[in-house]
Copies of this chain bind each other. A is one copy, B any other.
């Protein structure tokens, strides 16, 4: 039977073989004493197996609190652990509990991070994965050979549906490809979900009828299960093309249920991600995270951005983008959503590092805060990406394009 392999970056006060064996025991048949019924045959079939260990550095201070004593040293290592897929079949939540369950609490580890997962084909074949993915999102928006340019409605919360639609009018006329709700807004006292969909889609549909260009709007449907279904129906009825879900807040089973419908592209927002990832030796790394959400069927997923306003390094962002584009047999790739403090000046570096235009490139203030208005902001972003693909520097692009030059003047001096 094929096996799923997880790579963990760990730190332990014990010999690594011993710590790894504890992890494997806890995450398969184990309890803290030998008990009747745990036969060798049963262990062989269902037990987790430590496949490989790679020793790294030794440190004097534990990464996270645990039983520590003076003079104690802590070994860091990469370890690879496998499970038979017959333990959980195509049950994503139980797979997650297997890969990321009680093991974070074991005293045998002072640090543990799930770095990546290798999924056997027989397992991934049981999942449809993204229904639209990159190709589908390009087809829905009619954008090819460059990133989709997107923006977020700001202020995040407080606008009425009419006020939101007014901003959408400006953005649509400015040539935007994609717009999204903020994650703080789904249905609020002064912006009921259905009323916002009606107001926004009237603008988008009218523009599409006139020009043939259909802007994708990701309405935030995050809510209780039934409300999400109702919100989804509302978007379909209004001829929208996309729904947004806050992945961590809604959770795996409900996200998958929504993705399974397959009528709308699903924009996966990763807000809350920092708590899983900010510590170098605790939680989960993005390559593993995006695979789980790809199995659930998400079409677009946030990856932060180069030179972002958050703590994350450019190296980490590049790795995240690359992981989204890495093929999984029989499954579409997921569109990386680049955002956070982006205004176009990061386009040359983003392209230089990733060599891809398969991105949804989001600018919030960078578009609506542009000195020449939203139209200038969208133009500036298109100019930035055209120049980036041609290998131009920020200065070269600014010399050729007045709108981008204005962006540089306003956003580039921080």
Q: State the A residues within 8 Å of B (CB).
A: 1, 27-38, 42-43, 45-47, 64-67, 86-89, 91-94, 96-98, 100-107, 152, 154-159, 163, 167, 183-190, 220, 222-228, 246, 248-257, 269, 271-276, 278-280, 282-284, 304, 309-312, 341, 364-365, 368-369, 410-411
Measured in the bound complex, the distance between the Cα atoms of B272 and A92 in whole Å is 14
A186 touches B88 (CB 8 A): yes
A107 touches B155 (CB 8 A): no
Extra contacts, 5 of them, besides A31-B154, A97-B184 (Cβ < 8 A), are A29-B157, A31-B152, A32-B364, A89-B189, A250-B253
Contacts of A94 in B (CB 8 A): 183-186, 220, 222-223, 246, 249
A28 touches B253 (CB 8 A): no
Given the known A-B contacts A35-B154, A37-B154, A155-B38, are A256 and B102 also in contact in the complex, defined by CB atoms under 8 Å?
Answer: no
A28 touches B156 (CB 8 A): yes
Q: Which residue of B is nearest A414, CB measured? A: B32
What number of copies of this chain does the assembly contain? 2
B154 touches A38 (CB 8 A): yes
A29, A33, A107: most-surrounded residue (chain B CB, <10 A): A33
Contacts of A312 in B (CB 8 A): 105
Contacts of A227 in B (CB 8 A): 91
Q: How far is the CB of A151 from chain B (nearest CB, A)?
A: 10
A156 touches B30 (CB 8 A): yes
A64 touches B279 (CB 8 A): yes
6 interchain pairs, CB-CB under 8 A: A35-B369, A37-B167, A64-B311, A94-B223, A98-B184, A105-B274
The 10 closest A-B pairs by CB, nearest first: A251-B251, A104-B274, A253-B254, A29-B155, A86-B189, A105-B274, A33-B365, A105-B310, A101-B271, A46-B158
Measured in the bound complex, the distance between the Cα atoms of B1 and A279 in whole Å is 37
Contacts of A66 in B (CB 8 A): 311
Measured in the bound complex, the distance between the Cα atoms of B184 and A89 in whole Å is 12
Specify which of B29, B106, B257, B273 is in contact with A154 (CB 8 Å cutoff).
Answer: B29
Measured in the bound complex, the distance between the Cα atoms of B31 and A167 in whole Å is 16
Given the known A-B contacts A154-B37, A157-B29, A159-B37, are A102 and B275 also in contact in the complex, defined by CB atoms under 8 Å?
Answer: no
Measured in the bound complex, the distance between the Cα atoms of B46 and A66 in whole Å is 41
A225 touches B256 (CB 8 A): yes
Contacts of A273 in B (CB 8 A): 104-105
Contacts of A223 in B (CB 8 A): 91, 93-94, 253
Measured in the bound complex, the distance between the Cα atoms of B291 and A207 in whole Å is 45
B46 touches A157 (CB 8 A): yes
Measured in the bound complex, the distance between the Cα atoms of B108 and A310 in whole Å is 8
Measured in the bound complex, the distance between the Cα atoms of B36 and A369 in whole Å is 8
Contacts of A248 in B (CB 8 A): 96, 100
Measured in the bound complex, the distance between the Cα atoms of B353 and A120 in whole Å is 48
